[in-house]
Structure 1
Amino acid sequence: MPIGIITNVCAIFFGGIVGSLAGKKMSDEFKSGLNMTFSISSICMGIYAIAPMKNLAAVVFSVIIGTSIGIIFHLGDAINKGARGMQRFISRFVSAPSELSQMEFEATLVTLIVLFCASGTGIYGTLTEGMNGDATILISKSILDFFCAVIFGANLGAVVALIAVPQFVVLMLIYSLARIIFPLTTPNMILDFKAAGGVLMLASGFRIVKIKMFPTADMIPIMAVVLPVSWLWTNVIVPLIH
């Protein structure tokens, strides 16, 4: 049983519900302060994930190639459409916060979807649990995700809880493929993979406080291309250079 995945999904689901119920009791100053806290936390986690990377060029190429794929196939637009569908569904039962414009609401929701569903820590933690049953990484991540969901649930409403659904689907798919993927990797490939996830977390951190609205949804394919690019760089490109 994937204990780590279940814990992480429940943390977001219940965090979103708690935030939507308690949001009116939180002051704007309190919510704004915690938003900045989560932003810097995401940035710090991104830096921590990037620091041990082995092949800078491979990670840079992965960022460029992955983002290009996302833009070409309009992945961001598809996720925006999904976010609007989630909001329409939840609005049948509860109203969305009126202080946010539709554009601001969608931009924040997309940032959260990427942060919860496609972070390097989450994907690596899922691979680890799928391979050897160690749920420690995902359980640790769940603590931050719970409080993050509470605060953004206060801003966006109960729709945040619904992010648990695509997250469960994504993580269970990775969990199912873990026994196939993990044996094909090397320690250096995993470090580059975590670094690529760190880039996504950095971009998400900047988006949370609107420093720079990176196309994080379009950047998700980075996580799919970084392992093969890292392998090619190590086994094909580097021998040619040397």
Structure 2
Amino acid sequence: MIGPYINGAALVLGSVVGGFLGPKLKPAMRERMPMVFGCASMGLGIAMIIKVKFLAPVVLALVLGSVFGEVVQLESGIQRFAGLSRKLIEKISRPTGGISQEEFLDKFVALLVLFSLSGTGIYGALTEGMTGDSTLLIVKSILDLFTAPIFASTMGFTVAILVIPQFAVQGLLFLAAQLILPLTTPDMLADFSACGGLIMLATGFRICGIKPFPVGNMIPAFVLVMPLSHLWALYM
């Protein structure tokens, strides 16, 4: 298992560099670059959506997953974790100036999806688990290495905390790959990709400040989409 370690190291290194260089970065760069990364997220989402095989189960998974996320207040839980993390980090480092608590929590949720639940990370971990090829995760690591410093320049070292869910997701997928992939079909994987693309698209809108989609509450859709796609193929 090489890719998850490389990706985690890139996220931590980028966050630390951004945390130290934050005051030295030009305000225009700190303000505009997140819009570039948000645009990239939307583009990646669109590229994943067009792979869809059965649109109905994808939409159903997104709706049911979001309803479940709203009921259990998943995004609120993520935000509470973010707030506690920020307080803990700021006790041992400089305060994260230039950004309100509300904006910090909003960006933290979007970055959780971007770093930990992106299509590249999920498929990269599954691919390495099945074939030993870590290329996709290395490519993601390069992107994260340049993305993390920009957000850490305003959000501080707390961005590095995201390595925990990132490594947990990728590590579990790597270990479970040989059990999961034999149970899937190309159509199920295509619909899984499309579901992730919709969430990535919403994440891009949120990062760019266009529309604050509740991406944290959409996360359960990842669990539902492949079973629903399988049932749809069997009975519809």
> Normalised by the shorter chain, which TM-score bucket?
over 0.9
**Residue-by-residue CA offset, 1:111-153 (whole Å, 9 max, x unaligned):** 1112111122211211111122121111111111111101001
Report if the CA contact (8 A) 1:121-1:141 is conserved: yes
Q: Tell whether 2:109 aligns with 1:122.
A: no
- 2:231 maps to 232
Provide Cα deviations, 1:93-122, integer angstroms capped at 9, x if missing partner: 113322211111111111111211112221
In structure 1, the residue matched to 2:214 is 215
Alignment of 1:199-210 (within 5 A): 199-210=198-209
2:189 matched to which residue of 1? 190
Q: Do structure 1's residue 156 and structure 2's residue 193 form an aligned pair? A: no
Separation in 2 of the partners of 1:135 and 1:194?
Answer: 19
On the 8 A contact 2:90/2:96 being kept in 1, the answer is no
Cα distance in 1, alignment partners of residues 216 and 163 from structure 2: 17
Alignment check: 8 A CA contact 1:23 1:154 kept: yes
1:21 aligned partner: 20
The question of 1:142 aligning with 2:141 is answered yes
Find the counterpart in structure 2 of residue 73 from structure 1: 72
- Contact 2:39–2:204 (CA under 8 A) maintained in structure 1: yes
TM-score by length of 1: 0.94
Q: Please give the secondary structure, in 2, of the residue aligned with 1:99.
A: coil
Partner of residue 55, structure 2: 56
Show CA shifts across 1:145-166 (max 9, x none). 1111010011101111111122
- In structure 2, the partner of 1:96 is 95
Taking the aligned partners of 1:234 and 1:120, their CA distance within structure 2 comes to: 23
Q: Decide whether the 8 Å contact of 2:39 with 2:208 is kept in 1.
A: no
Distance in 1 separating the partners of 2:138 and 2:82: 26
How far the C-alpha of 1:61 sits from its partner, in A, is 0.8
Identity within the alignment, %: 43
Structure 1 runs not aligned, ≥5 long: none
Q: CA deviation at 1:183?
A: 0.6
Q: What is the one-letter code of the residue matched to 2:72?
A: F
SS of equivalent to 1:212:
coil
Question: Residue in 2 aligned with 1:37?
Answer: 36
Question: Who is 2:45 aligned against?
Answer: 46
Could you tell me how far apart the structure 1 residues matched to 2:233 and 2:146 are? Answer: 39
Contact persistence 1:21–1:154 (CA under 8 A): yes
Match of 1:112 in 2: 111
CA contact (8 A) 1:31 1:151 kept: yes
Q: Distance in 1 between matches of 2:33 and 2:97?
A: 20
Deviation at 1:84, TM superposition (A): 1.3
Query: What code does the residue aligned with 2:116 have?
Result: C
SS at match of 1:157: helix
Instruction: Give the secondary structure class of the aligned counterpart of 2:96.
Output: coil
Letter in 2 for 1:48: A
In the superposition, the TM-score normalised over structure 2's length comes to: 0.96
Count of paired positions: 236
Query: Partners of 2:165 and 2:51 in 1: how far apart?
Result: 30
